[in-house]
């Protein structure tokens, strides 16, 4: 998608479609209060072109509501699209992101291949120009993604040109910087989505390693991709136990970002679950919706997307990434419930923890256990992991918030602050000794499930064993990694959730 930032007066822009955002300025919450839509632009020509439809009551400026005007009087644009942001008192830059995605998705099935979106003008404390630029561009990239990659009759409806029109009086340098940054972030989120969208036969652990290496080479990251022999050398018994049932070998993916001139300070460790297909192993899953288990590598894909953005945006902090990729399959060589596995030791004088396998479908925490230990061994001083880890988290939070856990309030505060920029929704859940007791094993050190109750929390407690005192955040993205239904601003399919939040957390260091 070609992108540009324009400061041309709106009336003179020749385009297939000009999109303008609007808010409902009606402050009353009374049930009989009529919406009072207003365009978030000071351009007289656009205001005049939309005056009649705004007065008609046909368009109420609800969140992501649209109305299309053909041949708008006084404008060079062929069409004028109005997109709602909802109540003015609740307008945020996150709403701008969704509205931009809505505008892009509106034109795609209509054969319109170019769009000019007007940067909304409003209270600069609520809609600062630079933040709105970033949100709008990110939303446009998110809206342009579709998951029908393998349809033989696919008609590519991708938007060819996206222009963001800003006021002439704006700070051009600041907006250009925000615009360039947003392109990187939007493309990185879509890179993650493209990985998550791939079926298991097209994205094996080996191929995921290849895709990661190609990306790393393109953006200047250091990289290594290892397989079975390295796992054995490192004594990654937990990771290997998941891999052993599959004919496909595992992949241990390591990426490094080393900014010029930075030789001390924190080293941030990003660790992702990369289960490219999860059958459940011997504790096999029900067949219903098992095809969606190709997405069980979404946490690892989010880390790869975040690393792509980090490499291009160049924050002044060292970052390493570990993605543990494997298939979890049932076979004669697969691990069994009741088996005891030994996780990777952190050091020669510190033996690895022994893990009683209660359920082979609780495999994500096993690969993450060794991934977290390895990241610490490589020098990570702070850790963040992401995984489609538990259905229990979806039961608790639905498909609105993803789950988050942390053993360090200061580290969590950085992440929580990052959400104000990323616009993503994470809800912090508790940890505690009472939950840790639930994963103690009679035969080994710990067991890989704590039973039905508090399943997302006991999974986090399992991971906490392997981070020890290292400041750490765990993201359980099971409920948000795949959008079950299309929304006005995003297609059904992979969401790329956590890429923006992980990136912002890193940048806050």
DSSP H stretches of helix in 314-449: 364-377, 391-397, 409-422, 433-437
> Is 177 a domain residue?
no
Tell me the sheet residues that pair with 5.
164
> Is 176 a domain residue?
no
Least Cα distance to 476 among 335, 319, 308, 298 occurs for 298
Predicted local distance difference test score (pLDDT) of residue 122: 84
Please tell me whether residues 156 and 242 are part of one structural domain.
no
Predicted local distance difference test score (pLDDT) of residue 169: 82
Which amino acids are annotated catalytic?
A: 285, 365
Please tell me whether residues 137 and 255 are part of one structural domain.
no
> Is 182 a domain residue?
no
Predicted local distance difference test score (pLDDT) of residue 156: 81
Predicted local distance difference test score (pLDDT) of residue 28: 78
Predicted local distance difference test score (pLDDT) of residue 325: 98
Least Cα distance to 282 among 331, 222, 225, 229 occurs for 331
pLDDT digits (tens, 9 = 90+) for 402-426: 999 999 999 999 999 999 999 999 9
Cβ count near 6 (within 10 Å): 16
Determine the structural domain holding residue 381 and report its residue range: 190-507
Please tell me whether residues 162 and 194 are part of one structural domain.
no
Q: How confident is the model at residue 487 (pLDDT cuts 50, 70, 90)?
A: very high
Cβ count near 359 (within 10 Å): 15
Burial class (CB in 10 A: 0-12, 13-18, 19+), 28: exposed
pLDDT digits (tens, 9 = 90+) for 321-371: 999 999 999 999 999 999 999 999 999 898 999 999 999 999 999 999 999
Predicted local distance difference test score (pLDDT) of residue 115: 98
Output helix, strand, coil percentages for the chain, rounded to the nearest 5.
40, 20, 40
Residue 253 neighbours by CB under 8 Å, 6+ apart? 208, 209, 212, 213, 223, 224, 225, 274, 300, 304, 321, 322, 323, 324, 325
The structure tokens 């051009």 sit at 172
Query: Total structural domains in the chain?
Result: 2
Please tell me whether residues 205 and 120 are part of one structural domain.
no
Please tell me whether residues 350 and 492 are part of one structural domain.
yes
Q: Mark which of 167, 202, 236 sits at the end of a domain.
A: 167
> Is 102 a domain residue?
yes
Please tell me whether residues 254 and 327 are part of one structural domain.
yes
Please tell me whether residues 137 and 246 are part of one structural domain.
no
How far is it, in rounded angstroms, from Cα 297 to Cα 202?
13
Predicted local distance difference test score (pLDDT) of residue 329: 98
Q: How confident is the model at residue 32 (pLDDT cuts 50, 70, 90)?
A: confident
How far is it, in rounded angstroms, from Cα 58 to Cα 87?
16
What number is the average pLDDT over the span 432-453?
97
Predicted local distance difference test score (pLDDT) of residue 493: 97
Residue 310 has pLDDT above 80, yes or no: yes
pLDDT digits (tens, 9 = 90+) for 58-92: 999 999 999 999 999 999 999 999 999 999 999 99
pLDDT digits (tens, 9 = 90+) for 236-290: 999 999 999 999 999 999 999 999 999 999 999 999 999 999 999 999 999 999 9
Residue 56 neighbours by CB under 8 Å, 6+ apart? none
CATH number of the structural domain spanning residue 103 = 3.40.220.10
Please tell me whether residues 112 and 212 are part of one structural domain.
no
């Amino acid at each position: 998608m070609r992108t540009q930032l324009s400061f041309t007066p709106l009336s003179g822009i020749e385009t297939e479609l000009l999109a303008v955002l609007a808010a409902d300025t009606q402050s009353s919450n009374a049930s009989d209060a009529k919406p009072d839509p207003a365009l978030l632009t000071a351009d007289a020509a656009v205001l005049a072109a939309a005056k009649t439809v705004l007065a008609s009551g046909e368009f109420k400026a609800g969140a992501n509501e649209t109305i299309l005007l053909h041949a708008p009087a006084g404008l060079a644009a062929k069409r004028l699209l109005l997109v709602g942001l909802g109540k003015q008192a609740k307008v945020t830059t996150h709403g701008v992101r969704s509205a931009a995605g809505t505008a892009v998705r509106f034109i795609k099935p209509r054969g319109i291949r170019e769009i000019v979106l007007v940067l909304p003008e409003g209270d600069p404390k609520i809609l600062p120009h630079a933040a709105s630029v970033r949100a709008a561009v990110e939303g446009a990239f998110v809206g342009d993604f579709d998951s029908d990659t393998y349809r033989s009759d696919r008609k590519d409806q991708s938007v060819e040109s996206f222009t963001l029109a800003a006021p002439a009086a704006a700070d051009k340098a600041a907006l250009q910087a925000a615009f360039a940054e947003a392109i990187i972030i939007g493309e990185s989120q879509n890179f993650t989505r493209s990985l998550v969208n791939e079926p298991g036969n097209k994205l094996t652990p080996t191929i995921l390693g290849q895709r990661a290496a190609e990306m790393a080479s393109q953006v200047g990251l250091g990289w290594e991709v290892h397989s079975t022999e390295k796992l054995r050398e490192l004594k990654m018994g937990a990771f290997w136990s998941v891999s052993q049932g599959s004919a496909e070998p595992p992949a241990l993916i390591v990426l490094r970002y080393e900014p010029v001139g930075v030789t001390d300070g924190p080293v941030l460790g990003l660790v992702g679950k990369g289960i490219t297909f999860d059958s459940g192993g011997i504790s096999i899953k029900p067949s219903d919706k098992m095809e969606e288990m190709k997405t069980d590598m979404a946490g690892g894909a989010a880390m790869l997307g975040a690393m792509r953005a980090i490499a291009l945006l160049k924050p002044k902090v060292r970052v390493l990434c570990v993605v543990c990729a494997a298939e979890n399959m049932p076979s004669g060589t697969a691990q069994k419930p009741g088996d005891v596995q030994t996780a990777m030791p952190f050091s020669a004088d510190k033996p690895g923890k022994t893990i009683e396998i209660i359920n082979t479908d609780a495999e994500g925490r096993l690969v993450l256990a060794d991934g977290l230990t390895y990241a610490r061994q490589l020098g990570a001083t702070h850790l963040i992991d992401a995984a489609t880890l538990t259905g229990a988290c979806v039961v608790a939070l639905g498909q609105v918030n993803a789950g988050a856990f942390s053993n360090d309030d200061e580290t969590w505060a950085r992440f929580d602050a990052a959400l104000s920029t990323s616009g993503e929704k994470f809800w912090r859940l508790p940890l505690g000794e009472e939950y840790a007791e639930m994963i103690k094993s009679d035969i080994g050190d710990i067991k890989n499930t704590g039973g039905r109750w508090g399943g997302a929390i006991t999974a986090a407690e399992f991971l906490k064993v392997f981070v020890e005192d290292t400041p750490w955040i765990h993201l359980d993205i099971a409920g948000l990694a795949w959008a079950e239904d299309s929304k006005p601003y995003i297609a059904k399919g992979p969401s790329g959730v956590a890429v923006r939040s992980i990136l912002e957390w890193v940048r806050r260091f």
